[in-house]
Amino acid sequence: MEISIRQAEQLPKHIENLAALANQEGYAFIQRLIEEFQSGKNRFDQKGESLLLAFDGDTLVGCGGLNQQWGDAGVEERIGRVRRFYVHPQYRQHGVGKKLLLELEKLAKPYYSALCLNTDQKDAAHFYQKHNYVFVESHPNYNYFKYLIV
């Protein structure tokens, strides 16, 4: 397995396969990624934003996005948000998610002092905790947070 991470300018046609897999698992957020990208609502094209795709050869096996999520009112902190992060079930526990997340964090460092995300999935929460994201119980917009060391 030779995993490559590529920045997406456009969505590959294989994204539909990933969306179908995610839907089978009860996750609608890859379909939302497609709809928002196509409508222009979110193309991950603002300053400091990225959409990364993970490939095994020519097979799309994962994706992860980085959006702006500025600090709360009155807080000047520059915060990025990890969004639409998904790895093909057969590629989990093989380092694909780690590689994807580390690349997103590397891209985030010049723009953000911290990253946040929201998940209610136990396995995803465990994955993020392994990568030093801390559970935040009472925030209305996210439930995991990590300061980036610049």
Please tell me the predicted confidence (pLDDT) of residue 150.
56
Amino acid identity of 65?
G
- The three-state secondary structure class of 104 is helix
Crossing angle for the helix pair 15-24 and 29-39, to the nearest 10 degrees: 140
Please tell me the predicted confidence (pLDDT) of residue 149.
76
Q: Is the pLDDT of residue 15 over 80?
A: yes
Please tell me the predicted confidence (pLDDT) of residue 70.
63
Q: Is the pLDDT of residue 30 over 80?
A: yes
Please tell me the predicted confidence (pLDDT) of residue 137.
87
